[in-house]
């Protein structure tokens, strides 16, 4: 049994997997993923399993799924073996990776830090080498943040390119299925199986960096990350927020909150779930959002989206920090957590507001926790982004 | 009690609604849809109801949904009242509107004809005036065909612009939620509530007609439809299939079939459902599709998609027949049904293969069954297409 820095025991699975099983499934076909193993966030249906959503009350109110999410069937059909379902932040409403009911999965890269969430167990299962890749969901950063905190690759697709059938509803205009892997080749092979329709074939041959996004980051991290971005060829600079990051945050808080309350409010009202003390006020806040704010921020989002699409034409990638620094310490004060969200949500909304794809690439420093650098691409440049991650990785090793 | 042309009784609800209820729901908010009523195809989750899928065995293997599909919650939140869930073709695998287990909803426009499917009950509920609008699903024409057969408006959105969370899986790279209404103003208001993200603001100010698509239609219908298309200003002609319609059909059959079997094969294998005799061979065929055909037709589809996107730039609409003629007679021979699909599936795949939006507009002829004329728009031109349907309708009344 391993022990963590504070002397407590680390369970064999790093707390990555949910107890209620058996959700393991053999492959149903052979193909591009034969020989690989994977895990599925417990917000996505697997036939014969109850989807738990990181909430004992959600678990109790759901019967076993009769059919799996198409994304899961596609992976099994391509030859991958499902090992099990993974822990997550309660009903996905957090980027931290903690769960008041089921505990915090251990970050294998930095055991005294949070793993990031809400796809915490999926990231930990991959980072710990328990599976080759994992499915998560990413609404406001829930794949990208834990990828960065645990030092692995993460991908958020263009809106609509991966089916969200069989995923619990949350904030539909931001919801995606994303995936995580230690190796960019694996990340890309999984993408080729999951991505529907046809991508834009143009390779990404021009990188620019978002100056004001790097200005958010911890100064030490920013120095490392910007140097790496320049090494990738991202020399030209653009500004994304133009000083309006507080409005970007509000836009995300309002639109996401209104959608969450519309989707989950009826269930919450009917079931009165026992939320963890960090999560309860977030749903309470979501319930208070009024239509005038929604109307106003929908227009704001539309402007952002048009501006970002123009800034990132096909063939261009925008380099940003995935997170503002390394993983947060396990014991971070509520004030520091609040301040983390003020920057993290606008940063994650660079892809989220316009629905663009983003690949998160781990930057591993010796004797330090991992950092993350990301590239946001044009709509439907998913395949080109995955190819780019492979070639950037090759050039470094 | 009304009687149909053959003297049998027509039930008060035209057979539109499913028995297993109560799935009626009061609005949860006030907004753009206040005062309107709607129905939901029984392939889409409503909290507290079991989703039946037009199959007694699907119904038996599903518990009541714990949460509603986000599309349903959005409509309730905008003030619409849900009247109930509607009948459909078995597991959505048909365009005819018949169901071996639950009977055939009566086509109010032409009671001796099929209503079209698979969103048969949703179309009938709207056409009969039982509700103002209804949700359906459209993979290969399941909203557009019944809209045309029953003489109402139908809409299939750009892929990814309406959440498919809470819909039963079928063929994810073609699956959409669509909607039906008698009035294009209502159709548009519903779209404004359902469509996620921001559309392309450019109005559609140029219409072209697909010559070879009209060549498929019954000669009498083609004459009426082409005259109407010209009256709309669609004088310029393009060719879509270029003689390859048999390949378009095969492409659709292969890709849809492979996805259906991947999504539903495990459930079918585990549950051995009793399918209607028309439906059983379709699933049996889906089970036989091999990977080489899928690979070949994926590439074919990619070429089609690129060609159609170039043919329909923003600002342009492509006018096609919605169906090849009026609704099929209730007693159509299996051979005639087979021949219907050979043309209907390529026609419906003009929007489906590239994932483009399509509005189906009823063409009502005196003393005859309705015909349908459609406009396919550029990606994300959904709002512009809905506006265009309103202005075309105004110019005719």
- At A12-51, the pLDDT tens digits run 899 999 986 679 999 999 999 999 999 999 999 999 999 9
- C-alpha distances in angstroms, A193 versus A163, A166, B235? 12, 17, 42
A306-324 pLDDT tens trace: 999 999 999 999 999 999 9
Residue count of chain B, please give it: 397
- pLDDT, residue B397, reads 62
- Contact check, Cβ <8 Å, B263/A28: no
Q: For residue B382, give how far its alpha carbon lies from the nearest alpha carbon of chain A (Å).
A: 15
Name the residue among A31, A263, A291 with its Cβ closest to that of B73.
Answer: A263
As a whole number, mean pLDDT of residues A366-373 equals 94
Name the residue among A61, A73, A160 with its Cβ closest to that of B263.
Answer: A73
> A212-241 b/e with 16+ CB inside 10 Å = b?
bbbebbeeebbebbbebbeebbbeeeeebb
Residue A367 pLDDT level (bands cut at 50, 70, 90): confident
DSSP one-letter code for A379: T
Compute the half-sphere exposure of residue B295: CA atoms within 13 Å on the CB side of its CA. 6
Q: Is A62 on the interface with B (CB under 8 A)?
A: yes
* Inter-chain contacts counted by CB atoms under 8 A, chains A and B: 118
For residue A318, list its beta bridge partners.
Answer: A208, A376
Q: For residue B217, give how far its alpha carbon lies from the nearest alpha carbon of chain A (Å).
A: 28
A contacts of B264 (beta carbons < 8 Å):
67
- pLDDT, residue A201, reads 76
Distance between CA atoms of residues A315 and A307, nearest Å: 16
Per residue, the 3-state secondary structure of B285-308, as one string, reads HHCCCCHHHHHHHHHHHHHHHHHH
> What token pair was written down for A177?
């299925």
Q: Give yes or no for a contact between B147 and B135, defined as CB atoms under 8 angstroms apart.
A: no
Better pLDDT: A366 or A78:
A78
Mean pLDDT in chain B? 95
Q: Which of A52, A55, A77, A382 is the mutation pick for testing B, counting most B CBs within 10 A?
A: A77
- pLDDT, residue A394, reads 87
Contacts of B127 (CB under 8 A, 6+ apart): B107, B108, B109, B115, B150, B151, B152, B182
Radius of gyration of chain A (CA): 19
Active site residue A142: yes
Q: Is B66 on the interface with A (CB under 8 A)?
A: yes
B contacts of A305 (beta carbons < 8 Å):
197-198
Distance between CA atoms of residues A50 and B309, nearest Å: 41
Residue A5 pLDDT level (bands cut at 50, 70, 90): very low
Name the residue among A47, A263, A305 with its Cβ closest to that of B70.
Answer: A263
pLDDT exceeds cutoff 90 at A365: no
- Contact check, Cβ <8 Å, B67/A266: yes
- pLDDT, residue A7, reads 52
Q: Which of B45, B163, B176 is the mutation pick for testing A, counting most A CBs within 10 A?
A: B163
Q: Which of B172, B202, B305 is the mutation pick for testing A, counting most A CBs within 10 A?
A: B172
Q: For residue A72, give how far its alpha carbon lies from the nearest alpha carbon of chain B (Å).
A: 9
pLDDT exceeds cutoff 50 at B16: yes
A110-144 pLDDT tens trace: 999 999 999 999 999 999 999 999 999 999 999 99
Residue % of chain B over a pLDDT of 90: 92
Q: Is B182 on the interface with A (CB under 8 A)?
A: no
Q: Is B159 on the interface with A (CB under 8 A)?
A: yes
- pLDDT, residue A1, reads 39
Distance between CA atoms of residues A38 and A134, nearest Å: 5
Q: 10 Å Cβ neighbour count for B245?
A: 20
Better pLDDT: A393 or B35:
B35
Q: Which residue of B has its CA nearest to A354?
A: B197
Name the residues of B annotated as catalytic: 41, 118, 142
- pLDDT, residue B1, reads 40
**Alpha helices for chain A (secondary structure H):** 56-60, 70-77, 120-127, 144-150, 184-194, 211-216, 219-231, 245-271, 280-286, 291-311, 334-352, 382-396
> What token pair was written down for A18?
């949910």
> B169-198 b/e with 16+ CB inside 10 Å = b?
bbbbbbbbbbbbbbbbebbbbbbebbbbbb
Q: Is A264 on the interface with B (CB under 8 A)?
A: yes
Q: Which of B165, B273, B353 is the mutation pick for testing A, counting most A CBs within 10 A?
A: B165
Which residue, A137, A200, A28, A278, is CA-closest to B269? A28
Active-site annotation holder among A68, A120, A142, A380: A142
As a whole number, mean pLDDT of residues A173-182 equals 98
B contacts of A270 (beta carbons < 8 Å):
47
- pLDDT, residue A8, reads 56
pLDDT exceeds cutoff 80 at A265: yes
pLDDT exceeds cutoff 60 at A349: yes
Active-site annotation holder among A41, A94, A120, A122: A41
Q: Is A262 on the interface with B (CB under 8 A)?
A: yes
**What's the distance, CA B377 to chain centroid?**
16
- Contact check, Cβ <8 Å, B165/A159: no
Q: Is B26 on the interface with A (CB under 8 A)?
A: no
ipTM greater than cut 0.90: yes
- Contact check, Cβ <8 Å, A259/B163: no
Name the residue among A160, A266, A306 with its Cβ closest to that of B159.
Answer: A160
Cα torsion angle, B5, B6, B9, B10, sign: negative
- pLDDT, residue B265, reads 97
- pLDDT, residue A210, reads 97
Name the residue among B163, B270, B355 with its Cβ closest to that of A164.
Answer: B163
A contacts of B82 (beta carbons < 8 Å):
none
- pLDDT, residue B50, reads 96
As a whole number, mean pLDDT of residues B9-25 equals 84
**Alpha helices for A232-331 (secondary structure H):** 245-271, 280-286, 291-311
Residue % of chain A over a pLDDT of 70: 97
Q: Give yes or no for a contact between B382 and B195, defined as CB atoms under 8 angstroms apart.
A: yes
pLDDT exceeds cutoff 90 at B239: yes
As a whole number, mean pLDDT of residues A183-205 equals 93
- pLDDT, residue B174, reads 98
Q: Is A28 on the interface with B (CB under 8 A)?
A: yes
Q: For residue B184, give how far its alpha carbon lies from the nearest alpha carbon of chain A (Å).
A: 23
pLDDT exceeds cutoff 50 at B396: yes
A41-76 pLDDT tens trace: 999 999 999 999 999 999 999 999 999 999 999 999
User: Helices (H) and strands (E) in chain B — how many of each?
Assistant: 12, 12
Q: Superfamily assignment of B2-396 in CATH?
A: Amidase signature (AS) domain (3.90.1300.10)
Residue A397 pLDDT level (bands cut at 50, 70, 90): low
Name the 3-class secondary structure at B267: helix
Better pLDDT: A394 or A343:
A343
- pLDDT, residue A20, reads 62
B43-56 pLDDT tens trace: 999 999 999 999 99
Active-site annotation holder among A68, A118, A380, A381: A118
* Residue listed under structure tokens 């609008």: B133
Q: Which of B31, B32, B198, B352 is the mutation pick for testing A, counting most A CBs within 10 A?
A: B198
Q: For residue B166, give how far its alpha carbon lies from the nearest alpha carbon of chain A (Å).
A: 6
For residue A207, list its beta bridge partners.
Answer: A317
- pLDDT, residue B394, reads 87
pLDDT exceeds cutoff 70 at B292: yes
- pLDDT, residue B10, reads 62
B contacts of A266 (beta carbons < 8 Å):
28, 47, 67-68, 73
Q: Is B307 on the interface with A (CB under 8 A)?
A: no
Q: Is B53 on the interface with A (CB under 8 A)?
A: no
């Amino acid at each position: 049994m391993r022990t963590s820095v504070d002397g407590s025991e680390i369970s064999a699975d790093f707390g990555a997997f949910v107890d209620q099983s058996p959700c393991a499934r053999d492959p149903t076909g052979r193909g591009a993923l034969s020989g690989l193993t994977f895990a599925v966030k417990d917000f996505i249906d697997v036939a014969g399993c109850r989807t738990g959503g990181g909430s004992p009350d959600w678990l109790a109110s759901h019967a076993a799924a009769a059919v799996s999410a198409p994304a899961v069937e596609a992976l099994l059909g391509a030859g991958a073996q499902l090992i099990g379902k993974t822990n997550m932040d309660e009903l996905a409403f957090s980027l931290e990776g903690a769960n008041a009911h089921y505990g915090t999965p251990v970050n294998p890269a930095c055991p005294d830090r949070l793993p990031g969430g809400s796809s915490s167990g999926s990231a930990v299962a991959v980072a710990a080498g328990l599976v080759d890749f994992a499915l998560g969901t990413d609404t406001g950063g829930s794949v990208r943040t834990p990828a960065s905190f645990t030092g692995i690759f993460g991908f958020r697709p263009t809106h609509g390119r991966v089916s969200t059938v069989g995923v619990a509803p949350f904030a539909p205009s931001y919801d995606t299925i994303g995936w995580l892997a230690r190796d960019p080749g694996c990340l890309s092979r999984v993408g080729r199986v999951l991505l529907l329709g046809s991508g834009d074939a143009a390779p990404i041959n021009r990188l620019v960096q978002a100056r004001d996004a790097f200005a958010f980051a911890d100064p030490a991290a920013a120095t490392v990350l910007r140097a790496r971005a320049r090494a990738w060829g991202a020399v030209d600079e653009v500004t994304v927020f133009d000083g309006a990051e507080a409005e970007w945050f509000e836009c995300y808080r309002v639109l996401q909150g209104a959608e969450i309350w519309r989707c989950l409010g009826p269930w919450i009202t009917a079931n009165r779930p026992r939320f963890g003390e960090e999560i309860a006020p977030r749903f309470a806040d979501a319930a208070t959002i009024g239509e005038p704010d929604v109307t106003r921020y929908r227009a704001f989002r539309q402007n952002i989206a048009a501006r970002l699409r123009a800034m990132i034409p096909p063939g261009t990638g925008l380099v940003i920090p995935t997170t503002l620094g390394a993983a947060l310490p396990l014991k971070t004060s509520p004030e520091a957590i609040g301040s983390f969200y003020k920057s993290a949500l606008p940063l994650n909304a660079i892809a989220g507001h316009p629905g663009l794809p983003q690949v998160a690439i781990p930057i591993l420093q010796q004797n330090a926790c991992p950092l993350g650098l990301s590239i946001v691409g044009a709509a439907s440049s998913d395949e080109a982004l995955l190819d780019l991650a492979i070639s950037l990785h090759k050039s470094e090793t």
